[in-house]
Amino acid sequence: MANKAILNAYVRRIKRGTITINDVPEEIREEVRAIIEGK
């Protein structure tokens, strides 16, 4: 499991439109996707 601050940083950048989910490293992509979907 990745550090929560790192996950949240990726989520913020995706919501801002700076990056897409495909720019997130594969190792943590599912965790970031789960946060975005509210799970």
Q: What is the pLDDT of residues 1-12, one digit of tens each?
A: 789 999 999 999
pLDDT of amino acid 23 = 98
Residue 22, class by beta-carbon neighbours within 10 Å (0-12 exposed, 13-18 middle, 19+ buried)?
A: exposed
Domain limits of the chain?
4-37
> Which pLDDT belongs to residue 13?
98
On the question of pLDDT at 39 being above 90, the answer is no
DSSP 21: G
Region 28-35: mean pLDDT is: 97
Average per-residue pLDDT for the chain: 95
Q: How many residues appear in the chain?
A: 39
